[in-house]
Amino acid sequence: MSLGTPEQPNTPASLPKVKLRRAPAQYRHSSVLVRPEVAEKQIADEAIREPGDGPEPGGNGGCGPKPPTPTTTTKTPHRFYGTTKLNAARLSSSAGQIGDEIVQHLKALVGSDVEITLEIHATVPEGIPDHVVRTISENAATLKFDQFGFEEE
């Protein structure tokens, strides 16, 4: 195949016919699709941008607001607290979810001291029968509750 000469330049009619095979597209987790006109505009904009105008290397690529820069005035939290109501019918799964999504992250921190307190408030309009009072009292003592008791209205 010749590269063409001034007498016979490479034109579509003068080039040999080549059968093109389309290669399958390969996508990776870092692949992106970009419209050519958008890419060309960005390339042109970046070419005329002065140093210090655009995103810095290792930044967020100019997408969205820049993350806050740590300063000496930034305070790091040292304590977490939270309260939530649990569904008594789903106590086991709700408590497990709290353990998985909150407590384990706190316990994973070096030197952390995590304390979980469970409070139970129950109101029974008809009153709590004596045998249930006895069972709950025995169970609370066995489970080493710090405090427990019953109240009359």
How confident is the model at residue 31, as a pLDDT?
Answer: 64
Distance CA 56, CA 52 (A): 8
Query: 150: closest CA among 85, 139, 136, 126?
Result: 136
* pLDDT band for position 45 (cuts 50, 70, 90): confident
Asked whether residue 44 carries a pLDDT value surpassing 90, the answer given is no
How confident is the model at residue 35, as a pLDDT?
Answer: 75
* pLDDT band for position 39 (cuts 50, 70, 90): confident
How do residues 51-110 score in pLDDT, each as one tens digit?
A: 555 555 555 555 566 666 655 667 889 999 999 998 899 999 999 999 999 999 999 999
Instruction: Express the helix, strand and coil content of the chain in percent, nearest 5 each.
Output: 30, 0, 70
* pLDDT band for position 1 (cuts 50, 70, 90): very low
As a whole number, mean pLDDT of residues 112-125 equals 93
